[in-house]
Structure 1
Amino acid sequence: MSKTSNRLSNSIPTTTIRISTMHSAVVAPTTFQYVNNHQGWTSSLIWAVLVVTFSTSFVMGVNIGGPNIYNLFIVPWARGYPFPCQKDEDVAQWVARVWWDCDYTDISLWNITGYYYLPPVPANRQISQHVIDAAHTICFVIGGAIGGLTGQYWYSYLTRRNAIFVSMIFQLLGSILMIIPLLIYHGYTRGDPDRNTINQVLENKDIAIALLYISRFLSGWSAGMCCVVSSIYLADISPRIMRGKVVTFHQLFIVIGVLVGQIIGVPWLLGQHDKWNWGMSWAGLFSLAGCFLIWTLPESPRWLVQEHERNRAAESLRILRQSNYIEAELDEIVRQEATAVTQHVSICSMFTTTRFRWPLLTSIALNAIQQLCGINSVFFYSSETFSLIGFVEDKVYWGIISTGFINLVATIVSEKFVELFGRRPLILYPLGIITFIMILLCVFIQIHIPIIVLILTLMFIAMFAVGLGPIPYVYPNEVFTIDVRPTALSISVFASWFCNTLVTILFPVFRSIINGYVFLIFCVCCSSAFVLLYYKMPETKGKKLSEIEAFW
Structure 2
Amino acid sequence: MRTPSTIPFSEFIRKISHVPTDEIPRNKIRTLMIHNGLRCENIHSATLPQRWTLSLIKAVLIVTLSTSFVMGVNIGGPNVYNSFIVPWTRGYPFPCQKDDETAQWIAQVWWKCDYKKTLLFNKTGYYYLPTTPMDKQVWERFTDAIHTICFVSGGTVGGFTAKYWYKYLTRRNAIVPCMIYQLIASILMIIPLYIYHGYTRGDPDRKTIRETFEYKEIAIALFYISRFLSGLSAGMSCVVTTIYLMDISPRTMRGNIMTFHQLFIVVGVLVGQIIGVPWLFGQHDKWNWGMAWVGLFSLAGCFLIWTLPESPRWLVQERERNEAAVSLRHLRRSNLIEAELEEIERQEASVTTQDLSFYTMCSSTRFRWPLITSIALNAIQQLSGINTIFFYSHEILSALGFVKDRFYWSVISTGLINLVATVVTLKLVESIGRRPLILCSLGIITFIMVLLCIFIQTYLSIAALILMLIFIAVFALGLGPIAFVYPNEVFTIDMRPAALSISISANWLCNTLVTIFFPVLSSIFQGYVFLIFCFWCLLAFVLLWYKMPETKRKKLSQIQAFW
**What TM-score does the superposition give when structure 1 sets the normalisation length?**
0.94
Partner of 1:119: 130
Partner of 1:301: 312
Alpha-carbon distance between aligned partners in 1 of 2:205 and 2:145, rounded to the nearest angstrom: 29
The answer to whether the aligner puts 1:5 opposite 2:26 as a matched pair is yes
Which of 325, 336, 348 matches 1:337? 348
Q: Report 1:340-359 matches (<5 A).
A: 340-359=351-370
Does the aligned pair in 2 maintain the 1:113–1:193 contact within 8 Å? yes
**Kindly tell me: are residues 38 and 161 of structure 1, through their superposed partners in 2, closer, same or farther at Cα, counting changes over 3 Å?**
closer
Aligned to 1:223, what secondary structure does the other structure show?
A: helix
Q: Report 1:6-405 matches (<5 A).
A: 37-405=48-416
What displacement does 1:36 show? Answer: 5.9
Q: Report 1:333-482 matches (<5 A).
A: 333-482=344-493
**Kindly tell me: are residues 9 and 352 of structure 1, through their superposed partners in 2, closer, same or farther at Cα, counting changes over 3 Å?**
farther
What displacement does 1:551 show? Answer: 2.0
Does the aligned pair in 1 maintain the 2:47–2:339 contact within 8 Å? no
Aligned to 1:268, what secondary structure does the other structure show?
A: coil
Q: Report 1:452-531 matches (<5 A).
A: 452-531=463-542
Alpha-carbon distance between aligned partners in 2 of 1:311 and 1:547, rounded to the nearest angstrom: 28
Partner of 1:20: none
What displacement does 1:9 show? Answer: 5.7
Structure of higher CA gyration radius:
2
What displacement does 1:337 show? Answer: 2.0
Alpha-carbon distance between aligned partners in 2 of 1:358 and 1:315, rounded to the nearest angstrom: 36
Does the aligned pair in 2 maintain the 1:8–1:328 contact within 8 Å? no
Partner of 2:545: 534
What displacement does 1:34 show? Answer: 8.7
More divergent stretch after superposition (60-69 vs 482-491)? 482-491
Aligned to 1:138, what secondary structure does the other structure show?
A: helix
Question: CA offsets, 1:211-233, max 9 Å, x none?
Answer: 00100000100001110000000
Does the aligned pair in 1 maintain the 2:258–2:485 contact within 8 Å? yes
Alpha-carbon distance between aligned partners in 1 of 2:268 and 2:297, rounded to the nearest angstrom: 11
What displacement does 1:409 show? Answer: 0.1
Alpha-carbon distance between aligned partners in 2 of 1:8 and 1:346, rounded to the nearest angstrom: 45
What displacement does 1:195 show? Answer: 2.2
Alpha-carbon distance between aligned partners in 2 of 1:6 and 1:37, rounded to the nearest angstrom: 14
What displacement does 1:478 show? Answer: 1.2
Does the aligned pair in 1 maintain the 2:439–2:541 contact within 8 Å? yes
Does the aligned pair in 2 maintain the 1:110–1:192 contact within 8 Å? yes
Amino acid at match of 2:26: S
Does the aligned pair in 1 maintain the 2:47–2:337 contact within 8 Å? no
Does the aligned pair in 1 maintain the 2:275–2:282 contact within 8 Å? yes
Alpha-carbon distance between aligned partners in 1 of 2:135 and 2:546, rounded to the nearest angstrom: 45
Alpha-carbon distance between aligned partners in 2 of 1:466 and 1:459, rounded to the nearest angstrom: 11
More divergent stretch after superposition (131-140 vs 153-162)? 153-162
Aligned to 2:198, what secondary structure does the other structure show?
A: coil
Does the aligned pair in 1 maintain the 2:162–2:240 contact within 8 Å? yes
What displacement does 1:154 show? Answer: 1.2
Question: CA offsets, 1:175-229, max 9 Å, x none?
Answer: 0000000011000011222222111101100000000010000010000111000
Does the aligned pair in 1 maintain the 2:314–2:493 contact within 8 Å? no
Which segments of 5 or more consecutive residues in structure 1 lack a partner in the other structure?
11-32
Alpha-carbon distance between aligned partners in 2 of 1:493 and 1:161, rounded to the nearest angstrom: 19
Partner of 2:38: none
More divergent stretch after superposition (51-60 vs 187-196)? 187-196
What displacement does 1:6 show? Answer: 5.8
More divergent stretch after superposition (437-446 vs 330-339)? 330-339
What displacement does 1:346 show? Answer: 2.9
What displacement does 1:5 show? Answer: 3.0
Alpha-carbon distance between aligned partners in 1 of 2:125 and 2:112, rounded to the nearest angstrom: 18
Aligned to 2:550, what secondary structure does the other structure show?
A: coil
Query: Sequence identity of aligned pairs in percent?
Result: 70
Question: CA offsets, 1:352-374, max 9 Å, x none?
Answer: 21221111111100000000000
Question: CA offsets, 1:260-286, max 9 Å, x none?
Answer: 000000000000000000000000000
Amino acid at match of 1:113: T
Question: CA offsets, 1:392-412, max 9 Å, x none?
Answer: 211010000000000000000
**Kindly tell me: are residues 393 and 36 of structure 1, through their superposed partners in 2, closer, same or farther at Cα, counting changes over 3 Å?**
farther
Aligned to 2:48, what secondary structure does the other structure show?
A: coil
**Kindly tell me: are residues 513 and 139 of structure 1, through their superposed partners in 2, closer, same or farther at Cα, counting changes over 3 Å?**
same
CA RMSD of aligned residues (A): 1.6
Amino acid at match of 2:268: G
Alpha-carbon distance between aligned partners in 2 of 1:94 and 1:449, rounded to the nearest angstrom: 24
Amino acid at match of 1:183: Y
Does the aligned pair in 2 maintain the 1:7–1:325 contact within 8 Å? no
The answer to whether the aligner puts 1:550 opposite 2:550 as a matched pair is no
Does the aligned pair in 2 maintain the 1:377–1:504 contact within 8 Å? yes
Does the aligned pair in 1 maintain the 2:48–2:336 contact within 8 Å? no
Alpha-carbon distance between aligned partners in 1 of 2:28 and 2:311, rounded to the nearest angstrom: 22
Alpha-carbon distance between aligned partners in 2 of 1:400 and 1:186, rounded to the nearest angstrom: 27
Alpha-carbon distance between aligned partners in 1 of 2:530 and 2:94, rounded to the nearest angstrom: 35
What displacement does 1:109 show? Answer: 2.7
What displacement does 1:438 show? Answer: 0.5
Alpha-carbon distance between aligned partners in 1 of 2:344 and 2:541, rounded to the nearest angstrom: 35
What displacement does 1:308 show? Answer: 1.8
Partner of 2:10: none
**Kindly tell me: are residues 129 and 454 of structure 1, through their superposed partners in 2, closer, same or farther at Cα, counting changes over 3 Å?**
same
Does the aligned pair in 1 maintain the 2:155–2:232 contact within 8 Å? yes
What displacement does 1:7 show? Answer: 6.7
Does the aligned pair in 2 maintain the 1:138–1:504 contact within 8 Å? yes
More divergent stretch after superposition (493-502 vs 146-155)? 146-155
Alpha-carbon distance between aligned partners in 1 of 2:135 and 2:354, rounded to the nearest angstrom: 55
Question: CA offsets, 1:15-43, max 9 Å, x none?
Answer: xxxxxxxxxxxxxxxxxx89861420000
Partner of 1:24: none
Question: CA offsets, 1:317-355, max 9 Å, x none?
Answer: 111111122122122222222211233233332122122
Amino acid at match of 1:45: L
Amino acid at match of 2:429: V
